[in-house]
Structure 1
Amino acid sequence: MSKIRITKQFNFETGHALYGYDGKCKNVHGHSYKLNVTVIGTPIHDSNHVKNGMVIDFGDLKKIVKEEIVDQFDHATVLNKNTPHIELAEELMKRDHNVILVDYQPTSEKMITDFADKIKARLPKNIELFSLRLQETETSFAEWFASDQD
């Protein structure tokens, strides 16, 4: 049976700041992110199965990514908890802002790796995460491929 890739795109707004960076991105700013999630698997071949012909129901993939990524990161500010930005984070949280503290520099490259780990942990055993593409701006994006990982 053929392996098929299924892709779903998600959109969310997230702010961040890059501590120690030597350019404008050291300042708190935001992006309209686009996340393409591609999984690979074999379509179900069972005429009695409600999902016959599907690798994964798009709705099931949407539920996973929405819960793990979109609902968490949409309209949040992501800051590295191991920097002085922790003071800014604490002040924002006191004012009831949605702040996510991570243990990495919140670049697209590191965020996409974090997203891959979260999505992989929720996928059914017969479905593999094939790739992610996190678009930060109209012309800039990071890509993660399972085949590139150790």
Structure 2
Amino acid sequence: MEKIRVTKEFTFETGHALYGYDGKCRNVHGHSYKLSVTVIGEPITDQDHVKLGMVIDFGDLKKIVKEEVVDPFDHATVFNKNSPHIELANELESRGHKVILADYQPTSENMVLDFASKIKKRLPDNLSLHSLQLRETDTAYAEWYASDNA
């Protein structure tokens, strides 16, 4: 059977700051992120299966990505937990703001690595994560490909 790639796109708003960075992004700011998630697998051929012909139901992929990425990161502010931003993070949380303290510098590159790890763990055994594209702006994005990380 031939393999097919299926892609679903997501959008979410997230703030962050890059501690130690030598440019404007050291300041707290936000982005309207666009995430494209591509999985690869064989379409279901069982004539009696309710999802005949699908690699994955788009709704099932949406549920995974929303639970692992979109819902936690949407309208949150992400800080590296090892940075002095921890004081700001604590203040924001005490005022009811959604804050994520990450084990990494919250660049698009590191975020896409984090997202790939989370999504891969949730996919059914018959599917593989093929690629992710995390668009920070209309002209800047980071990509993750399984083939680059085999």
**TM-score of the superposition, structure 2-length normalised?**
0.99
* Distance of 2:47 and 2:58 partners within structure 1: 19
In structure 1, what is the Cα distance between the partners aligned to 2:73 and 2:51? 30
CA distance in 2, matches of 1:38, 1:60: 13
CA distance in 1, matches of 2:87, 2:123: 36
Mapping of residues 57-136 of structure 1, within 5 Å: 57-136=57-136
Residue 9 of structure 1 corresponds to 9
What is the CA deviation profile of residues 84-134 of structure 1, one whole-angstrom value per residue up to 9, with x for unaligned ones?
011110010000100000010000000000000000000000000000000
The gaps in structure 2 that reach 5 residues or longer are: none
Instruction: Give aligned pairs, total.
Output: 150
Alignment of 1:35 onto 2:17: no
Instruction: Give the C-alpha shift of residue 16 in structure 1.
Output: 0.1
What secondary structure sits across from 1:104 in the alignment?
coil
In structure 2, how many angstroms separate the alpha carbons of the residues matched to 1:105 and 1:47? 48
Tell me, what secondary structure is at the counterpart of 1:121? helix
List alignment gaps of at least 5 residues for structure 1.
none
Q: Secondary structure at the match of 2:144?
A: strand
1:43 match: secondary structure? coil
Root-mean-square deviation (CA, aligned residues, Å) is: 0.5
Aligned to 2:45: 45
Q: TM-score, normalised by structure 1?
A: 0.99
Match of 1:110, SS?
helix
The equivalent of 2:19 in structure 1 is 19
Q: Deviations over 1:14-38 (max 9, x none)?
A: 0000000000000000000000000
User: Which residue in 2 is equivalent to 1:141?
Assistant: 141
